[in-house]
Every structure is written in structure tokens, then in C-alpha cells.
Structure 1
Amino acid sequence: MSERDHPFDLRLVPSVAACWGATLVGLLAGWRPAAVSAIVSAAVGAVLALLVWRRRRAGPSVVLGIGVGVVAAALLGAGFAAAVAVRAHAVETHPLAALTAGGGSATLVVELDDDPKMLRGKSFGGERQLMLRASLQEVRTDRTVLRAGGSILVFAEGEQWAGLLPGQRVTLRGRLAEPERRDLTVAVVRATGSPQHVAEPPAIQRWAGVVRDRLASAAGSALPADQAGLLPGLVVGDTSGLAQETKDEFTAAGLTHLTAVSGANVSIVLGAVLLVVRGVGLGPRTGALLAGIALVAFVVIARPSPSVLRAAAMGCVALLALVTGRRKQAIPALAASVVVLLALSPSLAVDFGFALSVFATAGLVVVSPALVARLRARGWPRWLAEMCAVALAAFVVTAPLVAAMSGTVSIVSIVANVLVAPAVAPITVVGAATAVLAVVWLPAAALLVRVAGPPLWWLLEVADRAAAVPGGNLAVRNGLGGAVIVAVGIAVAVLAARHPWSRRMLLAVAVGVAAVWVPTRFHQPGWPASGWALVACDVGQGDGLVLSAGGRRAVVVDAGPEPGPMDRCLRRLGIDEIPLLVVTHLHADHYGGLDAVLHGRSVGAVAIGPASLPEGGFRFVSAAASRADVPLVRLAAGRQLTVGAVRITVLGPLLPEPRTPAAAEDGANDASLVLMAETAAGRLLLTGDVEEDGQRALLRSKIPLRADVLKVPHHGSRTTSPEFLDAVRPRVALVSVGADNTFGHPNPGILQRLAALGAVTVRTDRDGDVAVARSGSGALAVVGHSRGNIVR
């Protein structure tokens, strides 16, 4: 059989499925089911191996080959299940397990695995919050010192953390918590203070840090700010200088994959190296050696993210094939890279980015060539056929995964990716050359990087225009249900496109759906909902609430973590007068957008609670009010206010005011102002981030907490007590939460409790801005702006 007749070698695919499935069982179900799975798989593999051995001469060679593949898959799966069972057992019995369950504190010695990642918005004392992945080395408590390993996730704030490099060993003090995700993470640590006893990073990481810094310096000195921030992201995955607005536009346009270094970057870099090698007349083995060196250097500089590791592993397999003279086949290379990476890092099995990378590559290998052939047969030029086929193939295979992960499907991403495709390779090559040159001659690198200016401008322009398309992202159900819906839709479209009559029928259905959907999606004449009383603005991971006071007036409760989202929400509502702006407590995810709310609007007063800690938060709020020439006032329990049609009673805080920074860190959430607002839509309980201690104080006070609408405390975290929810018993529960947040909000148990109470739960991460109103019949209505549907 010729290669043309059998283009794909799929023999390793069953083994990949078995290894991935076995790893998932261990991670999600625990070590006991994984151990059982290992025993069962080994037994099945042994039985099948015996049957294949006995029939090795009797059956056809194809059947024998299939049998051998199944045996290999079963035995590999057994090995992976056993390995992950051992690791999962080590996590469950880790010395930190008891401390995390009780929320205790400890001093830890850790070694960083990756660069600190800046999180969206500010937190705690008004500083940027960072996330660090690290390997545990030592645990110190008041009673003992333990040598222990394991992966931990650290959340910290302060510039001292931002400059750390992978491989550095540091000592930190922090509060421990159980991890939300089951990915072999031992604990989540909320670091207090600065890193201590910071060791020097390894020489290779110092070198990589210099390369990244020099690339950023060269770009910053020669390009506009938006282009300078984007270039390092496209070349080495460094998005630290990328503006949040640009990140949002790339997400909406379906272009985020460009800033997550993947196989495309690796292929472009290796292709450029091999092209130079061929140009100077070097042999294939020397070329492979130089390409391998370039590959290792690129991975070190770009940092080993899941997509980079997958691409690097596939590149190694391809280089090995080049050296040995064997034919390169992409599917075996991809399958081998997946197996190796899962063996080295089982947590990749639950990493959406890794899954997207694998599926996208498989789609490009399997689907793209067939699409190119079809388009070429219709007379398309090769360059255009290849660009469109690559974008369409990537969309077809990854859209179900994206829907499962985010609950959205971008309908502009195909066009956007086709438009930016010609710009990606020049940017990557020029950027890589700039990074190398910047190490030895920064002025020359700054001159070279200007060549990347026009393609960078084009990429930013496409992202901006695509993100501005109304309804460019379709909201679907997230999780397995959304993935199935999208997969079925794509399958129907693909099957229909194969026949002329079905294409016409599909076109007619699409036109009919568009005729109904477009007006409701794009125009939304009902926003804000008629007679609205409360809007929970989609501000990301934070709170931003608006209480209608009649006309263009409103009381604002919290301002979100950043200026843009809250300002846009108020503009959509037409609010230009704010008699009272309340900051429930001094954490930045509640006051970060304060300046934007104060700018260009008439504000009567900014109100805070009794506490002045955390100090950084108090300084920020005070300075913002002073700049806007708005008085800063304090509210305390028992205060009553009437603003237009809204009557507000301050129910809390009832706990003693924190007096020290340490007490403020522990009790700032329980220092939240808790407000009961009586409106035309009923009683609305606004709770800030009050946690269990503060909730118990409210329950002990015997204050009537029953409300029609509850703003669920602390973004739906598990720190809300069942007794508190029982006392409120809301008809509607609003969860103000950011999409794909790292805190695991909202907690599934809280959502289940609310459902058991009969509450309709709406979430800003899924429904966008959410309005509460009274319908014409007097019924309570909740309208999600992003979806335009009445929930109740």
C-alpha cells in the first residue's frame, strides 16, 4: 500500500486514549479507582496478549496488528493508571493535607517552576496580585520541620514577587487552603509579606530572563506601547506587558492562541533555522543538531507551558526522524509527544490549553489537507486555500473544547485568523532575530524590530475590529453539554455541506435563524430592562452593583477591580448622577474602578465602612475621592438612607473593627458593609464579601434577613454558611464572578444549596450585566444583558 493510499499512521492513537483516560481517572476520582483501573487494564491486556499469541499464525495480518495495538494500549493504560495512583496517593497523604483542611499557616521553602503570572485586577491592599507555580522543598511549622515535595500554587502581591525567575528557591509564609482543581496540586498558599531568603536562579534561567528583558526593551524603545507589549507575547509568550484591553480583544476575536506559544511558533523558528542551514550547504545531521539546539533554547526562553512542551516534544520526534532517515509522520509524532508529556506531567491531562493544543494540531494534520484539496479543486489559489483551511480546521476541532471551557463560541474567529495569518510568520522571525541581536547589540535590535511594526499594527487592528462585531461570541452552555451541542452543530454543518441540496437547506435554515436572532442579539431595545431596580455589572472577578434611584440617578455599590468594565456598564445604563457611591470593604476587586466611576459624573459622596484597613486600600479610596473633590463618609450598622426610590439600611458589619494589618488581612471580608435595599423590585440584600464569622454575627443579631434578591457573598465562595442562605431564602441569587477565575468561584456546593432553596441563580461570568426588575404583571424578572433573555 502506497503512502498516498494510507497517509495516516494511527497505531499509537489507541495508546494515547488509554494513557489519557487512565490519567484522568486517577486525577479526578482518586488513587483507589486508579489502582483498580490499573489492575483491570493489566488483566485485560494479559488475556488479550495471550489470545493474540495463540492466533498469531491463524488470522490476517491486519487483525493481528489491531490486536497488538489493543494489547499495547491496555498495558500502557495500566502502567499510567498505576503511576498516577501512586502520585494521587502521595497528594492525599501529604503532610500539608491536615494543615490545608484546617486553613492553617506555615513557612514553606519552595522552588519556582515558572514565571510569576500577573492576575487581572488588583487584590487585597491595592497591589497587583500574582500567581506562582512552585515545587515544595520544605515545610516549617511551630512544631516541626519536614522535607516534603509536591506542587503548590502560590498567590502573592507586591513587586518583590514579580521579578522572580524559574528555578529560584525562596522562603515564604502563608495561609494554606485546599486546591479547587484536582491536578496533583498539594496546596494553595496565600502568601503574607515578601519572599525571604531568595536564592540565585540557575544560570540558564538568568540568561533566559536577560533575553526576554532585552527583547521587551528593544520593542519598547522602537514601537508604540500596544505593539511593544504584544511582540514578546507573540514571540516567547511573555504577556506581562500586554494591556488588559488588548487581551480582551484577542479573546473576543479568537486570537488568544497567538500569545500562547505553540507549535506554530516552534515550526516557524525551526523552519527558519533549517532554511539558513540549507542555504549555507550544511548536511541534514548538522542541520538537525543546530535545529535541536535552537529548539531547546526556544523552550527555555518561552518557558515550558503545556503548548510549548507539546510542540517541543513533537519537534524532537521529527528531528529524530530526520537524523535516522525515517519518514516523518505527524500523527505518530504527536501521539508520542502526548504519551511522553503525560508520563512526565500527569496534570496536563486536565489542562484545557494542552487539550486545545493537541486537538488543534491533529486537526491541522488530518482535516486541513482535505480542505485544501477541496478548495483547490474549486479553483482557489494555493496560498488562500491553505490559510482558510488551517483556520477552519482549527475551529472545527477546538470549538467544542472552547465551548466546554468558556461557554462561548466565537463566530468571527475564522475570518480573524485568516486575516492575521500572513502577519504571524514575519512577526515571529523578526522577533526571534531581535531577541538574539538584543543580547549583544541593543541599538541594532531596536532598529531591526521596527520591521515588525506594520504586521503588528495589522494584527491589533484585526483584533480590535473583530472584537467590536456585535454578537461576535455566541453564548452556549459550558461543560459537557455545551461541547456536545457545538460538536453536533459542526457535524451537521459538515455533512450538509457535502451535498448541493443540503447546502441549500442549511442556507435557508441559517437565514431563518439569523432573521430571528440578529435583531434580538444586536439591538436589544429592552436594555436596561423597563423598571429595573438593580444591575449587577459584569466587572470580572469583583463586584459592581447599581441601584436605580430614578431617571439617570443611581446608587453604586462597589466599582469592580478595573476602570473600564464599570464605566461601560454605567454608560449603558445612562447613569450620570450618583448621589452615593458605596465601597463595601477595602479590597481592590471592589474599588479598583473607582476613578472611572467618579470621572465625568456628579457624585454626592463616597462611603466606606468603619475600618481603615488594609491601609493600601484606604489610601487608594481616599485619594480617589479627594481627586474628584467628593467627600468621604463612613457608614455603620443601624444607619438608614433614602435616595430617590431606594431606602437603604446598613445591617453590618457587626464584628469588631480590625486594628492591625494582620487582623485586617484575616478579617477584611467580614468588615464588609452589608446593605438591605428596599426597592420597587423588592428587598435586595447586598453582602459584599462577608464570610462565615460576619454572617453568624448577623444571624445572632436577629435582624430580619429575608430578601427577594441576594447578592451572594464573596463571589459565591465556600465561606457562606447554609444557615445564612436559609435565613435569606432568596428568590433570585446574583453571583458577581469573573470567568475562568483561579479561585474556583462560585463553589458548586453553594450553587446546589441555592437551587435546593428554589432560588434562580444568575452569574455575571455567563450572563454579562444582570438586571433585576418588576415586569408589567408584577412578577420579579431577571434579565441577562449578554443573552437578552428573561430568566424569571
Structure 2
Amino acid sequence: MVAVVLWGAALLLIHVPRLAGPTIPIALIGAVLLVILRRRRAGLVVLVLLCGAGLAATVAAAQPARDALTAQDGHVVEALVEVSSSASLGSDGRLWFDAQTIAIGPPGHPQRVAGPIRVGVAPIDGADLGAVLRVTGQGKRTDAGERAALVLFGTRAEVTAPASGAFAVAATTRAEFIQRASGLPEPGAGLLPGLAVGDTRAVSEEVSAAMLASGLSHLTAVSGANCAIVVAVVFWLVSLLGGGRALRVALSLLALGAFVVLVTPEPSVVRASVMAALAMLTLLIGRPSAGLAMLSLAVCGLLIADPWLAATPGFALSAAATAALLVLSRPLLRGLGRWMPVPLALALSVPLAAQLVCGPIVALFSETQSVVGVVANLLAAPAAPIATVIGLLACLTSPVPPLADLLAAAAWLPAAWIQTTATVSASLPGATAAVPAGPLAATVVAVISAAATLVLVRPRSRRLRLVAAAVVVIASAASVAGMLLRGPLASMTTPRAWTIAACDIGQGDAVLIRSGSQTALVDTGADPDALTGCLAQTGTDRIDLLVLSHFDLDHVGAATSLAGRVDTVLHGPVAEPADQRILDELAAGGAALRGGAVGTHGLLGSAEWRVVWPPPDSAAFPSGNDASIVVDIAGGGVPRMLMLGDLSAAPQRQLLASGRVGGEYAVVKVAHHGSRDQEPALYAQIAAPAALISVGEDNDYGHPRKETLIMLEAAGSRALRTDRRGLVLLGEQGGRLVVWTERQE
């Protein structure tokens, strides 16, 4: 109770820090009055008030430094920072880590300020826990409630003082282990450092997504299980050697501290280590372990010391999972034991308890829920502790290379099993359920989780059991129906007479064209899952012609997911090695590669297509948006259509002047998601009744722009936006253009 109230108070104070000052005297005065009045059962309230005062004092004390950091918003600054977390490689190519500022200010004149900051720099050696770096870059203030008061986008960084002492030993040991693991084969090599020491830099985006979809991502976040293993092993070894209780506890705590330094003090590690330390202390004084009391004490102490933990999803999930194991696992074991063998029920009760309690928290910030998580955890559970223990031993024995190599090889096998379990389970139809993140989704998931718990534990109230069973049946039926409609029956929800389909794949382009038995796909968008969903919904198994208009991520990011399913690839100019790698992967899957420029043409079923832009070997538009392949297609049941890629106004004017665009069009794919940079005369010339705009909801670019929508209306074109209408289908019936949309605008 105290921990829950304090958590809520922490969330309030870190989001509205000006309340911290007045809260301190109010809480203290209230506590003193209750003690003087000696109200019955006032002890709990007094404890809450005192903890609240301590919490407010922490927030108030930190606020001046945080204000000094947020004052650097938008400025180019020089900062001297001490790394306080492990570093991870972001999608922007920067190395990101948390740090404490020592000084910050204009370049050449930093002032002493000690506060939390998030730093992103170009990959640099030596950014280890405890190292001091000098970083120059642009600051950006964070939202209220964020632990880091400022984000620093570094343009230049240097290590001024490498990690020293225990931090240096830990960094060297961890780096040697990661290097050793990198020499092992995949699957499993990249995952092993994450399982053993929580370092996920070697985990690819595909594996990370699979771990998340299968509900196994917690295995790469060092938490209570890892701390418990370390403490138990040391405790057992000292006991085996004849050490007394005090020595066992002392050495276990020492080993736990060393482990925290080795894996870096992330929120879940801090929570778990504090829990383990409290457990050791209760053992030392001869008191029976009280799990919930220890958890509450750990949470309260950590929130008072660092109130910003309250807004950290990892800390919330860690505490919730621990509470679930303490409270729910045993009742679930009894309930499951009625229907299955006890060993199987024991293995299933632990991940199920964590899933039921953590699901509502995940729904607050994640748009997907793992449906296969319990089964995947059941399959991976036996391998996880083996990979963790042996991997940790391989890390610690780095000074003895032959032994470390042997242990790393032994740990690779369970790591490979876990990664295979993740990738296979995540690839199953309906492995995840899409839910809009937020309080509503969390409430729905909480109701379903509570109902499932009641069904399994069988409360005495028959009415309560019936209501819970009804909720579970309805939720299961809806889930199965959704899986079928998104999977085997997806195409049944789509009219069959379509010949043009604009996929709803977010901010990006993916347009299907079908004539007879052949299908073309123009661009793929960035999200493989969204593209796969569109292909399933339209009943598309194979792509006869894949057009990659240009190599921006929002047009080709999902292209490699089609490897092995494409016959011919028509592509725009190749500018970067990454562009060629995409083509090489498609070619390895059996696709024929063909460069596209003016004059390139062909057949798709009975439809004829031709490329009307870019000119061959254009010096003015060598690559990028303005060199997008523009395709004109018509016939074979396909309404005449012009797809403009991401052309800006200048090449649009040249295209219009070339005379290659003429006659009547039924459909135009608006350039660059409806950006403002358009040529009105081109759209007036086209005068297409339907204007497709492939665009994502709430994009940062403001697409489609209001000026573009007004221009389309003036040209007599009806804007069909995927962000508002979802999947947009077009076809011809009796010589008329017919439009179907997934949603009404």
C-alpha cells in the first residue's frame, strides 16, 4: 500500500516539481499531528507522509540542477559528463548512454552543473561506466518526468578520463566476453552477451523484434533472476567451504555489488539488487523472509533516492513481475495442477503470473501484446538460467582464455535455443495482438488478465467464476477471430474486383497493381509487418514486378522481407552501398534486377506500363527523391494511373514539359506523401478523379499539407488518404472508376 501511494506521489512530483517544496512541510506537519493525536491505525499514514516528505525533498534538491540543464535547450554546448549506464547503439547510428554532468555551457566556457543527461555520440571506444567524456553538441530539453533533464546530440566527443578501478576491470571483462561471443555462430552469438551481462548491442533489430513479439525480451534485461543466481551460487559455495552465516551473507553481498558494476546499474538491476540485499540482511538477523514486505521496502527506498524511476517502464515491469511471482504463482500452480501434471504446471505458473500482471503495464506504452508469450517462455525457461550462469562464468574467466572459450561455447547452445524459440514463435500467425497504447488498452488488458486469473484460481463465488469465464470466452473468441481475419481469412474481408490497392503501411509508399494473374508492387514502406498484413489482406502471395522507385527507407525498408517472393525488380539509381545490399538480397532470392529510366516498359498481365521519369544518366537528378521512378500504367482492367514517387516541383515541371504525360488519367499517386513541394500545372494536366496519398498518422512532416489538398481539389481530384481511410482499393466496373476504403473519413 505504501509503495503504491508513494509511486503515485513520485509520478506527480516529477511531472509537477513546483509542488515538491510545499509538500515537505505539509507532510511533516501532518505526520507530527497524527503522532500527537495518537489516532488508531495512524502508523501507516504517518509512514506514507514521512516517505512523501523524503520523496519531495529529493525532487526539490534536484530541481536547480535540472533547471540549469533545461536552460541549454536549443543551444550548442560543451559538456563534461560521467557515464552512468551501459551504452547502446540507436537507430540513428549514435551511441546512446545516460550520464551525470560535471560541467556544461557554451563551448569553451562550461559551468559546473551536476545533473542527469542523455548523450548520443558517434560510436567511440571508452564510453564505459565511470568514464568521463567531453562532448560538444546541441541540447534539447526532455518532457517533464523524464529522468534525463536534457538530451545532448553530440557532434564531437573525446574520452578525457577512462573508466578506472572496478569500473575499468568490469569494462575490460565485459568487452572481452562480447568479443569472444562474436566469434560464435548465429543464432545465439549476438544474444549471449544480453543473456549473461545484459549487453544487447550485438542483438540485431530482427532478433530484438522477435524477442519482443514472443514475450522473451525480459531475458536480455538483467533482473531479479540474474541477481538471485549470483547470490545463490556464492552462498552455496561459501557454505560448501564451511563458512558461517555472516560470512556467507557478506560475501554474497560483495559478489552482488560486483555483479551490478559488471552489468551496469540499470533500473531493473538496481531494484533486483536491493531486493537481494534485503533478503540477505533478513537472513543474517534470523528473520523469515517476507517477500512482499521486502519488495515494498525496496520500492519505497529506491523511489525516495531516485523518484524518476517511477516513470521508467523497466522498473515498473520489474517490480510488477516480482510481485506477481510472490502473490500469483502459487495460486496459479494449484489451479493449473487440476488440469495438468504438477511439473508442467510449475513451469507454466511462473511465466503466466508475470504475463498476467505485466500485460496491463505493457499496454500503456506498447501497441502490441504477445499472444504466444506464455508458451514461448515455457519453452525458453529451461535454457535461460543455463545460458546466464555459464555465460557469466565465461565472462569472469576471461583471464584464462581456453577455459573462457570452452564456457562460451557451452553457453552458446542454450542461447541459440532461446533465439530460435523467439524467431519461430514470433513468426506464427497472430503471434501478437495490435492494441492502441494508452490507459484504455491497459484497462481492457487488466480486465482480461483478472478474469483469466479468476478462472484459473477458482474463487468460491460461483457468480464471480461465471463472469470471469464469460470475459475469457469473449476475449478468446475475439482474439481467434482477429487472428483468422488477419491470417488465413484476411483476403475474405477485401472486395475481389480491385486492380489498384494503396496499402496502409504508415508513413511510406506501397501500392499494389493487379492485372489478370500478375501483380506488381510499387515500393514497400518501412515496416515488414505492415506490408505483410497488406499482402495477406489483398490475397497477394507473389510479386511478379517489384518497383523500387528510390532508396529512401520509407519506400524500400521492407523490401528484403520479400526475398524469394519476387520475379523481377525494377529499381531507381543506386547511390549507396546499402542500396546495393538490398538489391543483392533480393537477387539472392531469385529476382532478376533491372534498372529503370525513361524508355523502360513492359507488360503486367494485359496491362502496359512504361517509365516516364527519370531521364537516363541524368546529371541534374542522379539519385534520391527527384530521381524517383515514375510509372504510367493502363489497360488489362487497370484504370490509367500515374505514380509520381517522391518527385519535387522542379522535376515535376520538367516531366510536364517533356510531353510524356498526356491524355486522361483515372488515378494519380500524389508525390512525396502530399508534401507542399508540388507543381499545380502537372496535376491540372493529369486531372485524375482519384488522388492516392500514402501517409502515416501524426507524422512529423505535416503530410499531406493543406496547400496540396487545396491544389488537388482545384484540379478536380478527390484525395484518398491511407491515414484516414486505411487500405484503399480501386477498380473499374462498366467503364467507371470504383473506390472501396477500409474506413470512412
TM-score (norm 2): 0.78
Q: 2:96 aligned with 1:131, yes or no? A: yes
Q: Which residue of 1 aligns with 2:191?
A: 230
Q: Which residue of 2 aligns with 1:432?
A: 392
Q: Which residue of 2 aligns with 1:647?
A: 642
Q: Report how many residues are paired.
A: 675
- Cα deviation for residue 211 of structure 1 reads 2.0
Q: Which residue of 1 aligns with 2:124?
A: 161
Q: 2:71 aligned with 1:97, yes or no? A: yes
Q: 2:486 aligned with 1:486, yes or no? A: no
Q: Which residue of 1 aligns with 2:157?
A: 195
Would the aligned equivalents of 1:533 and 1:771 in 2 still touch at CA under 8 Å?
no
The change in CA–CA distance for 1:141 and 1:52 in structure 2 (over 3 A counts) is: closer
Would the aligned equivalents of 2:355 and 2:374 in 1 still touch at CA under 8 Å?
yes
Would the aligned equivalents of 1:19 and 1:77 in 2 still touch at CA under 8 Å?
yes
- Cα deviation for residue 322 of structure 1 reads 2.4
* C-alpha distance in structure 2 between counterparts of 1:494 and 1:53, whole Å: 44
Q: 2:10 aligned with 1:23, yes or no? A: yes
Would the aligned equivalents of 2:98 and 2:118 in 1 still touch at CA under 8 Å?
yes
Q: 2:212 aligned with 1:256, yes or no? A: no
- Cα deviation for residue 311 of structure 1 reads 0.2
The change in CA–CA distance for 1:321 and 1:111 in structure 2 (over 3 A counts) is: same
The change in CA–CA distance for 1:35 and 1:679 in structure 2 (over 3 A counts) is: farther
Q: Which residue of 2 aligns with 1:43?
A: 26
Q: Which residue of 2 aligns with 1:74?
A: 49
Q: 2:596 aligned with 1:621, yes or no? A: no
Q: How does 1:264-283 map to 2 (within 5 A)?
A: 264-283=225-244
Query: Which residue identity does 1:17 align to in structure 2?
Result: V
Would the aligned equivalents of 2:72 and 2:139 in 1 still touch at CA under 8 Å?
no
Q: 2:256 aligned with 1:295, yes or no? A: yes
The change in CA–CA distance for 1:481 and 1:455 in structure 2 (over 3 A counts) is: same
Q: Which residue of 1 aligns with 2:170?
A: 208
SS at match of 2:235: helix
Query: Which residue identity does 2:579 align to in structure 1?
Result: V
- Cα deviation for residue 154 of structure 1 reads 3.1
- Cα deviation for residue 533 of structure 1 reads 3.6
Would the aligned equivalents of 1:263 and 1:311 in 2 still touch at CA under 8 Å?
yes
SS at match of 1:94: helix
Query: Which residue identity does 2:83 align to in structure 1?
Result: L
- Cα deviation for residue 478 of structure 1 reads 1.6
* C-alpha distance in structure 1 between counterparts of 2:695 and 2:237, whole Å: 60
Q: Which residue of 2 aligns with 1:581?
A: 548
* C-alpha distance in structure 2 between counterparts of 1:389 and 1:310, whole Å: 23
1:175-206 Cα shifts (integer Å, max 9, x gaps): 333435741433333333x5235532223233
SS at match of 1:261: coil
5+ long unaligned stretches in structure 1: 1-12, 57-63, 657-677, 736-759, 762-769, 784-789
* C-alpha distance in structure 2 between counterparts of 1:361 and 1:76, whole Å: 22
Q: Which residue of 1 aligns with 2:488?
A: 523
Q: Which residue of 2 aligns with 1:351?
A: 312
Would the aligned equivalents of 2:58 and 2:306 in 1 still touch at CA under 8 Å?
no
SS at match of 2:135: strand
1:432-458 Cα shifts (integer Å, max 9, x gaps): 222222x22111222234443553344
Q: Which residue of 1 aligns with 2:134?
A: 171
Q: Which residue of 2 aligns with 1:306?
A: 267
Q: 1:545 aligns with which of 493, 510, 514?
A: 510
Q: 2:350 aligned with 1:367, yes or no? A: no
- Cα deviation for residue 332 of structure 1 reads 2.2
The change in CA–CA distance for 1:390 and 1:574 in structure 2 (over 3 A counts) is: closer
* C-alpha distance in structure 2 between counterparts of 1:624 and 1:243, whole Å: 17
Q: Which residue of 1 aligns with 2:611?
A: none
Q: Which residue of 2 aligns with 1:418?
A: 378
Q: 1:403 aligns with which of 363, 372, 397?
A: 363
5+ long unaligned stretches in structure 2: 598-613, 615-620, 635-639, 652-663
* C-alpha distance in structure 1 between counterparts of 2:108 and 2:395, whole Å: 49
* C-alpha distance in structure 2 between counterparts of 1:448 and 1:511, whole Å: 47
Larger radius of gyration: 2
The change in CA–CA distance for 1:326 and 1:457 in structure 2 (over 3 A counts) is: same
* C-alpha distance in structure 1 between counterparts of 2:165 and 2:670, whole Å: 55
Q: Which residue of 2 aligns with 1:10?
A: none
- Cα deviation for residue 295 of structure 1 reads 0.5
RMSD: 4.2
1:704-757 Cα shifts (integer Å, max 9, x gaps): 89986544489712677975587589966556xxxxxxxxxxxxxxxxxxxxxx
The change in CA–CA distance for 1:393 and 1:582 in structure 2 (over 3 A counts) is: same
Query: Which residue identity does 1:426 align to in structure 2?
Result: I
The change in CA–CA distance for 1:95 and 1:464 in structure 2 (over 3 A counts) is: closer
* C-alpha distance in structure 2 between counterparts of 1:679 and 1:700, whole Å: 16
Would the aligned equivalents of 2:451 and 2:471 in 1 still touch at CA under 8 Å?
no
Q: Which residue of 2 aligns with 1:468?
A: 427
Would the aligned equivalents of 2:351 and 2:377 in 1 still touch at CA under 8 Å?
yes
Would the aligned equivalents of 1:25 and 1:34 in 2 still touch at CA under 8 Å?
no
1:287-335 Cα shifts (integer Å, max 9, x gaps): 1111112111111111111111110111111222223333332222212
The change in CA–CA distance for 1:44 and 1:83 in structure 2 (over 3 A counts) is: closer
Would the aligned equivalents of 1:137 and 1:149 in 2 still touch at CA under 8 Å?
yes
Range that drifts further, 423-432 or 147-156:
147-156
1:590-612 Cα shifts (integer Å, max 9, x gaps): 5555666688745564336xxx9
* C-alpha distance in structure 2 between counterparts of 1:228 and 1:554, whole Å: 38
1:244-294 Cα shifts (integer Å, max 9, x gaps): 333222222211111111101111121111111221211111111111121
Query: Which residue identity does 1:43 align to in structure 2?
Result: I
* C-alpha distance in structure 2 between counterparts of 1:241 and 1:480, whole Å: 34
* C-alpha distance in structure 2 between counterparts of 1:163 and 1:688, whole Å: 42
SS at match of 2:727: strand
Query: Which residue identity does 1:434 align to in structure 2?
Result: A
* C-alpha distance in structure 2 between counterparts of 1:485 and 1:186, whole Å: 33
Q: Which residue of 2 aligns with 1:32?
A: 18
Query: Which residue identity does 1:489 align to in structure 2?
Result: I
SS at match of 1:716: coil
The change in CA–CA distance for 1:241 and 1:452 in structure 2 (over 3 A counts) is: same
Q: 2:91 aligned with 1:116, yes or no? A: no
* C-alpha distance in structure 1 between counterparts of 2:110 and 2:301, whole Å: 35
Q: 1:631 aligns with which of 585, 588, 595?
A: 595
Would the aligned equivalents of 1:423 and 1:455 in 2 still touch at CA under 8 Å?
yes
* C-alpha distance in structure 2 between counterparts of 1:463 and 1:622, whole Å: 29
1:383-405 Cα shifts (integer Å, max 9, x gaps): 44432221221122111111222
The change in CA–CA distance for 1:474 and 1:600 in structure 2 (over 3 A counts) is: closer
Q: Which residue of 2 aligns with 1:716?
A: 699
SS at match of 1:154: strand
* C-alpha distance in structure 2 between counterparts of 1:74 and 1:584, whole Å: 59
Would the aligned equivalents of 2:641 and 2:668 in 1 still touch at CA under 8 Å?
no
* C-alpha distance in structure 2 between counterparts of 1:699 and 1:318, whole Å: 70
SS at match of 1:228: coil
Range that drifts further, 209-218 or 334-343:
209-218
1:349-395 Cα shifts (integer Å, max 9, x gaps): 1111110110110111122233334556x497654443222122112
Would the aligned equivalents of 1:558 and 1:582 in 2 still touch at CA under 8 Å?
no
The change in CA–CA distance for 1:525 and 1:775 in structure 2 (over 3 A counts) is: farther
* C-alpha distance in structure 2 between counterparts of 1:578 and 1:384, whole Å: 50
| Bigger relative contact order (CA 8 A; separation at least 6) | 1
The change in CA–CA distance for 1:642 and 1:85 in structure 2 (over 3 A counts) is: farther
SS at match of 1:50: helix
1:516-567 Cα shifts (integer Å, max 9, x gaps): 555424313427944264444759xx74533536464435346638x89869
* C-alpha distance in structure 1 between counterparts of 2:352 and 2:563, whole Å: 45
Query: Which residue identity does 1:166 align to in structure 2?
Result: L
Q: 2:351 aligned with 1:391, yes or no? A: yes
